[in-house]
Amino acid sequence: MQSNTRSWFSRWYSLKKIGWVFKWLLLVAMLSYLYVTIREKGQSLQDVLQLLRERLTANHLTELAMVILLTPLNWACESRKWQLLAQKIENISFLQSLKGVLSGLALGFIMPNNVGDAAGRVLSLQSHQRLTGVGAALLSNGLQFYVSLFFGTLGWGFFIGQHSTLQNWPQLTLLGVLIVTLVFGIWLIISRKNAERYLERFKWFRWIEPYVDVIAQYDLVEIRRAFRWAVLRYGVFTLQFDLLLSIFDVSLPILTALACIFLVFFAKTLIPALNFLGDLGIREASSLYFFSFYNIAPAQVVAVTLTLWCINILLPVLVGAFWTLKMKWWRE
């Protein structure tokens, strides 16, 4: 029995090391892409810093203030969503929910992203059965992912419709896969209880079933309520991004700008991030790719995404870190 345990742990540890190597390689590739793209346009990091100094001034105070003020609304939407879903485990206040969400954001910097997010939320619960909150946290993230998938699919369809060079079988196949995934997501929510019964046949699922069983206990009304907050949060993200495009003088038709924003957020959702950087690098690299189709200066794109990361991620992480230090990690 001991040797089996050691063997299982060795396999898990090996996979974890492979995952870390992959993430580091991905980071190097993204940073290289950023460097090469910026240099090809005859620009440098100095141009990005110069843009930040020029644009983040009193001349754009109104737009910048709106972006900053939307950040609490952004995380308030996520907190309300988590508060609704956490009711299956215990009744929590909005403030408790907010603490859990921001603590999860902070823990995501030192743990694998989804693990850190779920840990912060679960640890903020007071119930002795709080580990069942893992399922609620997974559902919360799943709903936000579905929103990103939906708008990302719209963005991709619009994007390839605008560019004939992208109208070939790999890109069209990807669009088909995204549509099928959207339909599958709807089916999975409607048939979640049947899906759970099917998964019970597998030994690996029986081990995690006590933690995710709560997902099958939500009715469609409860899921719809949480889903509405996920959509609202996505709308806040989009508005912030669009305001920053205006601040840094990136002028595009509204539908084109929205398609690029949707695709950047979708890429951020799909591509794994190095934890201590959050999604820094992913947003910049994907933004450079999609906006390059419209001859936007790389320095403008990087300045937009870097500002968004500082306002939307870095500042909330500092708040979340404070609450994380005050958590009780173990219950009697």
3-state secondary structure 72-96: HHHHHHHHHHHHHHHCCCCCCCHHH
Q: Is 250 helix (H, G, I), strand (E, B) or coil?
A: coil
User: Counting beta carbons within 10 angstroms of the beta carbon of residue 75, is it exposed (0 to 12), middle (13 to 18) or buried (19 or more)?
Assistant: buried
pLDDT the model gives residue 21 = 62
Q: Which two tokens stand for residue 296?
A: 């936007």
26-39 as b/e: b if 16+ CB within 10 A: bbeebeebbeebbe
Residue 331 main-chain phi, psi, to 5 deg? -110, 150
pLDDT the model gives residue 181 = 94
Answer for the pair 278, 313: CB distance below 8 angstroms, yes or no.
yes
pLDDT the model gives residue 297 = 84
Q: Which two tokens stand for residue 140?
A: 């919360």
pLDDT the model gives residue 110 = 66
CA dihedral 82, 86, 92, 95 (to 10 degrees): -10
Q: How confident is the model at residue 145 (pLDDT cuts 50, 70, 90)?
A: very high
Select from 228, 231, 144, 220 the least CA-distant residue to 188.
220
pLDDT the model gives residue 8 = 42
Residue 332: CB atoms within 10 Å: 4
* Higher pLDDT, residue 87 or 212: 87
pLDDT the model gives residue 302 = 85
Q: What is the pLDDT of residues 213-237, one digit of tens each?
A: 788 888 899 999 999 999 999 999 9
pLDDT at 311 over 70: yes
How far apart CA 79 and CA 318 sit, in angstroms, is 17
Q: How confident is the model at residue 12 (pLDDT cuts 50, 70, 90)?
A: very low
Mean pLDDT of 154-160: 94
Q: Is 17 helix (H, G, I), strand (E, B) or coil?
A: helix
Secondary structure element (H or E) that encloses residue 70, with its range: helix 61-86
Answer for the pair 292, 129: CB distance below 8 angstroms, yes or no.
no
